[in-house]
Amino acid sequence: MKYFKLPDLGEGLSEAEIVEWHVKVGDTVKEDQLMVSVETAKAIVEVPSPQSGVICTLFAEPGDVVHIGEPLVEYEGEQDDSGTVVGDLSLSAKQESKDDFIVGSAHSQNNQSVIKATPSVRALAKRLEVDLSHIKPSGEDGRITTNDVEKAARLNFDKGQSESLKGVRKVMAKNMAASHAQVVPVTLHDDADVHGWFTKGNPTQDITMRLVHAIKQACVAEPSMNVWFDGEHLTRRLLTQIDLGIAVDTEQGLFVPVLRDIGQRSLDNLREGLNALRGAVKSRKIPPQEMQGATITLSNFGTLAGKYANPVVLPPQVTIVGAGGIRDEVVAFQGQAVVHPILPLSVTFDHRAVTGGEAARFLSVMLEDLTKASVEN
């Protein structure tokens, strides 16, 4: 029930006499509609309705004296008395409102380092198409100066725009830097004489799968090459399963999908798996999980060019095998100088976790396996 009380009529008047009602019970009134005329000591005052609504009760008859603040009219409705003499306090329909607050400032959610530059420097950078996040500030409080922006613009003009690394390239830059900072790499180079592959009647050998097989055999013989090493806590995890990361080169950059459990799968199955992974990489549909968790890596760069290398060990792995291109070379074989197809091999290992002996034995098993004419599926 919403009451309308006689409002303050001003001039120190405390009461008024009802002269004439302009509405009756049951009427629907609009806001501002003239409702009642009252007479004060000084004048007749027209009182409008403060709101729209339906009149429910009239509290005084013509001739009655009503004091300021006494109810004149009651409207139908469910609102409580807002208790005001002057003005109209709206009653909110909202009930319980959630109001969590933090005293003082919230934790900063912005993890990017803050770029400090005056608005004029920012405007200059915008005009010269210079990205402020690429500039090393030279100002005393770490701010970027006009000079910095102009130099960067000149460099862009002379040498070409610098672009931020994105995606796979960015990841590669970070991973390689991290590896360099932690790993102690040592590489053993050797050659596998694979003339046995090309003996008459021998089926064509799948080079990658021969390498996979050789790695499998070598890991079985030297399990310490298939581990995860934590340099910070100095722990070593001997892994029962061999998950081989295979480096794949694409236009976007280097991807390393993982061929899982090479120890238990047939070579045909692994070839299918590798093709599927390559397809997924090419179509950019490969999920990130497929590129995580490798225990040892193969970089078969020989398909492009190159002989020996020092490929980068990716922590927490401790080994990476690099295979160069098979080429005909003149070699000494059984006391004769002959021309044989030779597969150059490099094995880089993290010397924090692996000894030279372990690596050498690993390499020797690989070589032995690779020289075989063929291997079981």
Taking the complex as a whole, the smallest distance from the CB of residue 130 to other proteins amounts, in Å, to 15
CB 72 to other proteins: min, Å: 17
Q: Which of 70, 78, 18, 64 is nearest to 45 (CA)?
A: 18
Nearer to other proteins, 1 or 91 (CB): 91
Half-sphere exposure of 366 (CA within 13 A, CB side): 29
- Beta strands 15-21 and 65-67 are antiparallel
Q: Binding of other proteins at residue 147 (CB under 8 A)?
A: no
* Nearest to other proteins of 133, 310 (CB atom): 133
Query: Is 143 among the residues that bind other proteins (CB under 8 A)?
Result: yes
User: Residue written as tokens 């398909």?
Assistant: 303
Is 92 an interacting residue with respect to other proteins (CB under 8 A)?
yes
Q: What mask of x and - would describe binding to other proteins in positions 35 to 64, judged by CB under 8 A?
A: ---------------x--------------
Does position 201 interact with other proteins (CB under 8 A)? The reply is no
Q: Of the candidates 11, 26, 78, 86, which one interacts with other proteins according to CB under 8 A? A: 86
Among 90, 199, 204, 283, binds other proteins (CB under 8 A): 90
* Residue-wise burial string across 52-90, b where 16 or more C-beta atoms lie within 10 A, e elsewhere: ebebeebbbeeeeebeeeebbbbbeeeeeeeeeeeeeee
For residues 133 and 250, which CB has a smaller minimum distance to other proteins in the complex? 133
The minimum distance between CB 54 and other proteins, in angstroms, equals 20
Q: How many CB atoms lie within 10 A of CB 199?
A: 9
Please say which residue, 110 or 283, places its beta carbon nearer to other proteins: 110
Strands 244-246 and 296-299: parallel
- The span from the CA of 41 to the CA of 16, in Å, is 7
- Interface stretch with other proteins, choices 86-94, 161-169, 239-247, 335-343 (CB under 8 A): 86-94
Instruction: Report the SS3 class of residue 166.
Output: coil
CB of 156 to other proteins, least distance (A): 21
| Owner of token pair 């300021």 | 68
Q: Which of these segments, 59-67, 95-103, 224-232, 351-359, binds other proteins (CB under 8 A)?
A: 95-103
Say how far apart CA 37 and CA 40 lie, in whole Å: 10
Binder among 61, 78, 101, 376 for other proteins (CB under 8 A) = 101
- Whichever of 10 and 63 has its CB closer to other proteins, that residue is 10
How far apart, in whole angstroms, are the C-alpha atoms of residue 94 and residue 315? 57
32 vs 268, which CB is nearer to other proteins?
32
Instruction: Give the one residue of 11, 95, 283, 336 binding other proteins; rule: CB under 8 A.
Output: 95
Closest to other proteins by CB, 141 vs 251, is 141
Residue/partner pairs of 180-185 with CB below 8 Å, 24 or more apart: 180/312, 182/231, 182/315, 183/312, 183/313, 183/315, 183/350, 183/352, 184/350, 184/351, 184/352, 185/310, 185/312, 185/313, 185/348, 185/349, 185/350, 185/351
Q: Per-residue x/- mask for other proteins, residues 313 to 332, rule CB under 8 A?
A: --------------------
Site membership for other proteins, residue 96 (CB under 8 A): yes
Query: What is the smallest separation between the CB atom of 48 and other proteins, expressed in angstroms?
Result: 12
119 contributes a contact to other proteins by CB under 8 A = yes
**From the CB of 167, what's the least distance to other proteins, in Å?**
22
How far is the CA of 40 from the CAs of 13, 22, 43, 47, 86, in angstroms? 7, 18, 5, 12, 18
Distances (CA, A) of 159 to 41, 129, 156, 170, 330: 92, 14, 5, 21, 46
Q: Map the footprint of other proteins across residues 14-33, applying CB under 8 A.
A: none
Stretch that binds other proteins, among 82-90, 150-158, 257-265, 334-342 (CB under 8 A): 82-90
Contact footprint for other proteins (CB under 8 A): 50, 82-92, 94-97, 99-110, 114, 116-119, 122, 141, 143
